[in-house]
Each structure stands twice: as structure tokens, then as C-alpha cells.
Chain A
């Protein structure tokens, strides 16, 4: 930009009037140009900055709308929408969702369509879960991967499609493209507990508070907890069911007498609700105090991302990672005692899986989860402080050694064995009897 003249009379004297006027013009137009350049730069900067919409999309990419295309057809389908059905994702909740969706499809003569969002589906895994649980689909199922990240892949949707969603984020994403009256949210945990108070939890809370969708709650315990926690929509729009543990998969096998017994700890350090660190504290203390004898017990950690470690007395646990469905069932038959901690109101699957396979379980109390003897007297429940857990472990060890009592408890177990019976309690969006109250 042209600099201004410090002494105008001196400039006039030296350069004359015409030069002074010319200079003044240059100064004025230079300032205007500078202003315009500043403005353009500011606009460009503003353009380069993300909008609120793009920030939200980036932060909550899993909440992007499920991409659908409406297609005129009258075929009936039950769609289960979930992150993944690959080995490692197929336990507990996802398997339950697959089974219930398959039974729902059979019940209404519909096709089952499995929609995954984060991984291309593994057909063999799905086949194994359904066949192992004795479920034969009446109509050939379909598998579709509709990735969360933008792509040309979409879901074709007919007028008679209904949807079963398996997490709050999948529900949220589905509800951005599908009418709420077609959606059943299979809720298998108080998912708010996955988060600290913040944006994720807020959105989760908003989704599980929706009164315009149907909820299907895994266990009465969880249902009652949510209702007691003030979720009026759950009281109005939900049914609950108790999961089943078919004999064909979960059954007791005679544990080898004389051989070392097996203690299994559910070790998932990155799933905070599984209280990994409290668990290793407990096992360490039990070894130190001597009532857990490493000469008589093999200690096995099963889970994910488990660090190598040494427990008291130099005892190093065996670490086992993800197992295939049938491998897992066989493994359970070799476990005498499971230490499964879960800081949520749902009993969680591992304790029930093991009790259904003839083992003894130590787990913890949480909220209204104070007693799991209705499922099985072989499940000991303790408060989460170390001393209470140690006392619980003492009882569990004693029960493990008392074969007669353990078998009696196993025989008297209240665990359901039939998915068809479990399914009878379930209602879904789209069923006439299911009009939201």
C-alpha cells in the first residue's frame, strides 16, 4: 500500500500540485484495495472453517443416516441392523439379536435381512449361530453391508420392511431414514453407562427415551432398572424377555476329577464396565491370602487386549482371545469357576453362559442387580469392595468343590433353555397387538 506523506507542504513544494493529487489518489485507492483483500481473505478463511453440520458429522460419524432407497415391492422382511456379525462380535447381544430376528422372520413368514455397518458380514458366523441354536429359516436370508462411511451402497426398502436395531447409535442412524413405527430397538444394556456425562451420553439418553419406537429389553432386571430410573417410555413401549441357553450349546460336562481346576476371569481392560483392575486386585489378594491355590487352580483370562502380567506367587495367567461360537461353548464345559465382573444392571451373558454349562460364577451386585439366584444358585453375587468380593470368592470356591450341591443347583436352574419360549414374550414394531400405548 502507498505510504502517506509526512509533510504535505514540503511535498507540494518539492513535487508540485499535480504530483500531490496523484499521490493522494494512490493512497485512497490503495486503502480500498487493502480493505477488499482483507474481506476476501476473511471470507476464504470462513469457507475453510468447518460448519457445525460437518463438525457434527465428523464427530458422530456412526450416527450418519442409514442410506436407503425406496423400492415398490410387497415382500415382507425383517431387517436386523448391527455393527458387525463377524467372529468376535457374535457373542451375547449380537447372537441374541440374530436369533430373535430370525424367529420373528419365521413367525411372520418374512425374509431375514442382516444389515451390518462397520464390517462386511461373515456368512459362516451367522450360519453357525443360527444352526447351533437350532434355528432354520423358512425363507432364505440376505446379508447386506451398508457402511457407515459414505458410499454408493444402500439398502432397498419396501413398504413392509421392519427393523430391529441393536444399539443406540444404530437406532439413531436408522431412524434418520426409517419411520419410527417400523423400528424395534433391542436394548441389552443400559447403554448410557458406556459414557461419561457428555455429548455421547446425551444422544444415547435421547435415543433410549424415545416414545415413538418399540423397545425389546433383554432381561426383566434391566427393564425394571430402566423404569425405576425414570424412563417412562420403557414402561409404556417395551417388553422384556429372558435369554435362552439351549442344551445343545450350553450343557454341563463332567469335570475331570483330580486334574487342576480352571478359574476363568473375564478380562476386558478396555471395557471399563468389566472392572478389569478390580478383578486382578481380587485374584491377587486371593492368591496372597492363600485360599486360591495356584497348584490346584489354572487361572485363565478370557477377553480382549489383555496385558501380560504376573499375579502373586509368580502365577502367570493363561491368556485366551476371541473364540468361535462352538469353541467358546466347549471351553465353558471345562471351566469350574468364573469371575465375571460387570458394573451395569444387566447380569451380562458370561455368568449365565457358564451357569448354563455347569460352572460356578462369582459376579457383582449393581443397582437392582442384587441377587441372581433365580437364574441359578451357582451364581454368587457380592458387593464390589475387595473384601466382599474375597468373601464371595471364598463361597464360590467352596461351592465349586461341593459337587453334589453344585449339581443340585444346576438341575434346579431357572435359566431358560428354549429360544422359542423366550420369543413368545417378545413383541415388535409392526405387530397389530403392538400398537404403542
Chain B
């Protein structure tokens, strides 16, 4: 584990709690106005696909201004739609308000885009998605819930003029599904995340990546829906823990431990979920971040965010070679890729080279902060939100 003295950010509060009029003022300030509409602010999709974009446009001199709004804004939403040049519905499930908003915006000649960051719009894939997310097939509500959820997203997506998404693989799936264009705006880190990551990285670098002698492997997607992903790395993790006394596993989330790892419980640290800023600190502590992914069309459309968030704090990643991770990680240069049969070999290599990886950490960090930040993605956001489709 790396020595990091930078303290956690106490009393962190999510930065998206501004009132309507503050958001509205920012939205109407530009010559081209983009209204992002999302169901309810959260720490995941909302942050990556709405909050970050609005922040980036606000920081830019592009002339494009943006604001984020919610159905809970009520009647004021109509005013937003009137002033907007482009409306982006982000992962909104079809319902009467969505339908009315689309109809209203269309009647006023606005461009309506749909932003979706997962392959969750085609009901032909429902069974596959449920299996991948380890849902309980016997639960009476599961099928109704997921078919409804996916078809509501699919219906809303099809009603829009074009889509925005995170990577080319998913963009192709969207275009195949809707027969409409799909713009790629990758996920990236916002200002707060980058600033705190820089503090953490600089401290690590200043201390010459000093470690306490333990080798921590981190898994930061510890939700039950990632059970099958995590299981892919379990045989290799078990072997690693068995062979090397200094190895520890750090999991953030509520994943129940697979039986094979139970006997190493005293060497496994489980942390609760963190806000997106303080999560960077936990990631910065570990030597290796792992991103095992079951291989199918659903997981192949996931973005590479687990790589760049770790790289930003000087933590190297071993990932399954899904389309986005394989594009982001150059094996042996800024991280490692592991096929499903190579986790043991690659983890061994990472452990053996842990003291010689400073240059790799630097490369990964530079790659992450220069490619996954607002300024790197600004043009893609502007192109997508100002396009006439």
C-alpha cells in the first residue's frame, strides 16, 4: 500500500445541489443553449453524463451554455425547453412527461438528443443483461421490471433525433437500433476529481511511491451486479493470496465474498461506498486496480472509467480487454490487459514489477489527465450538442 497522508475531504457534499434559478442562469448565458434533463441527480450516470458536461461547457469559451434540469423542476421545465437550442434527455425512461417534453421541443424545432451510457435499450438483450448483472430469475418482479426499464429507455431513445454515448462500440449498437446517428462523448473526470487526484498523485510522486511493504489489489465496483465480473478474477486472486503473504485485497462496496476467498478474510479489507472525490483517495492507496469483465455485448459497451480514475492517482490497472479498455490501455505501458485465462500470470507480473513501475504510473497518469478531462472532450461535446440532425 502506498503511503498517502493527504486526508479525506471531510463533509464532502455533492456539488449538484444548486437551485433552479442558479442552474437556469448558467443555462441561458450562452449563444447556443443546451438543456440536459435527467430523472434525479446521482453520483454515477448523472455525474458522468450531465454534471461534467455542464461544468465543461461553463468553463469553456465555446459560446455554448448548458444547465441540468429534472422533472421535479415542474412547470419551469417548459420555460427551459423554450429557451433551449438543444435538449439532451439523459437515460430518461419513457413516461408521459418525457413524451410531452419531446413533443413540445419538437413543435418548437429544437434538436432532441438522447444520452445513454449502457447497452440498456434493446429488449432482445434483457435476458443477457439480467444474467450478466446476476439478477434473481426466480424473483417475480425481475422480468417485469427489466423489460419495462429497457423498453422505456429504448422507446425514449427512438423518439429522439440522435444519441450521445460513451464509446464507438455502443454508438454502433445505438445506430443499429435507432437508425439514427450517435455521437461519442467519452466519460471523463470533472474539475473536483482532477484537482484532488492531482494532490494525491503529487504526494505519491514526492514520496517516490513509497509503500508499506504490503501489496494491495483493489476492486472498486463492489456491487452485487458485478458478482460475475469479479468471479472471473477469483481463482487468480486466491492463488496470489495463497502464495504471497504480503498480498491484500481491498474491495469498495457490498460484494459478498466468494467462498474461495473466505479463508483469506483477515487479509481482505472491505470499504463502504465513497463519494466520487474521496473514492480517489482510496484508489490511490492500492498498487493495482483490477477490472475483470465478463465478455459479452453488454460488457463490451462499458466505458473505461475504472482505468482513468485509477491512473489519475498513479494506480495501475489490470483489465479485461473489452473494446474500451483495450483501446485505452497499452499493455505493459500504462497498465495491463488480461484475457480471462491470464489473470494469474498478469497479477504475478504486476507484483514482481511493483517497485519498477514508477514510469508506468507516470505514463498512465499523463494519459488519463490529458485524455479524460473536460478540455479533451470539449470539442466532442460541442459537436454533439450543436449538430443539426
Contacts from A to B (Cβ < 8 Å): 69, 71-73, 75, 111, 113, 120, 122-124, 126-127, 130, 137, 140-143, 152-154, 156
Contact indicator B127/A69 (Cβ below 8 Å): yes
Whether A123 touches B296, Cβ cut-off 8 Å, given contacts A69-B127, A71-B124, A154-B127, is no
Given the complex of chains A and B, what is the CA–CA distance between A8 and B60 in angstroms? 111
Interface residues in B118-134 by Cβ distance below 8 A to A read 122, 124-125, 127-128, 131, 134
Interface CB pairs A-B, < 8 A, 6: A123-B340, A127-B345, A130-B341, A140-B320, A152-B135, A156-B296
- Interface footprint category on B: 20 to 34
8 Å CB contact of A153 from B122, B124, B131, B320: B131
A123 and B236 in contact, given A72-B124, A141-B341, A152-B136 (Cβ under 8 angstroms): yes
The residues of B that contact A126 with a CB separation of less than 8 Å are: 341
Does chain A have a CB within 8 A of B254? no
B235: chain A residues within 8 A (beta carbon): 120, 122-124
Choice from A71, A124, A154 contacting B341 with Cβ under 8 Å: A124
- State A122–B343 Cα separation when bound (angstroms): 11
Which residue of the partner chain B has the closest CB to A151?
B137
Interface residues of B in 134-167 (CB under 8 A from A): 134-138
Q: Is the CB of B344 within 8 A of A140?
A: no
Is A143 a contact of B232 with CB atoms below 8 Å? yes
- Across-interface contacts of B295 in A (CB, < 8 A): 111, 113, 140, 142
Contact A152 B137 (CB under 8 A): yes
Q: Is the CB of B125 within 8 A of A71?
A: yes
Instruction: Report the bound CA distance from A72 to B119 in whole Å.
Output: 12
Q: Does B297 contact A (CB under 8 A)?
A: yes
B131 and A69 within 8 A (CB): yes
The docked-state distance in angstroms from the alpha carbon of A120 to that of B344 is 16
Q: Using a CB-CB cutoff of 8 Å, which residues 307-347 of chain B contact chain A?
A: 320-321, 337, 339-345
Of A75, A140, A153, which is within 8 A of B340 by CB? A140
Total A-B residue pairs with C-beta atoms closer than 8 Å?
A: 65
| Least distance between A151 CB and chain B CB atoms (Å) | 9
Q: How far is the CA of A436 from the CA of B321 in the complex (A)?
A: 37
Q: For the complex, is B25 an interface residue (Cβ under 8 Å from A)?
A: no
A175, B122: Cα distance in complex, Å: 28
Given A71-B125, A123-B340, A137-B339, 17 other A-B residues pairs in contact with their CB atoms under 8 A: A69-B127, A69-B128, A69-B131, A72-B124, A72-B125, A123-B236, A123-B342, A123-B343, A124-B345, A140-B295, A140-B337, A140-B339, A141-B340, A142-B295, A143-B232, A154-B127, A156-B128
Does B9 reach chain A (CB closer than 8 Å)?
Answer: no
Q: What is the CB-to-nearest-CB distance from B324 to chain A, in angstroms, rounded to a whole number?
A: 14
Bound together, the chains give a CA A143 to CA B341 distance in angstroms of 7
In the complex, which residue of chain B has the Cβ closest to the Cβ of A152? Answer: B137
Identify the 8 closest CB pairs spanning chains A and B, nearest first: A140-B339, A127-B341, A123-B341, A142-B295, A152-B137, A69-B127, A124-B344, A126-B341
Which of chain A's residues has its CB closest to B234's CB? Answer: A120
Residues of A within 8 A of B138 (CB): 152
Assess whether A71 is in contact with B128, with CB atoms less than 8 Å apart: yes
Cα of A75 to Cα of B340 in the assembled complex, Å = 17
Q: Indicate if B376 sits at the interface (CB-CB under 8 A).
A: no
Cα A6 to Cα B344 with chains together (Å): 89
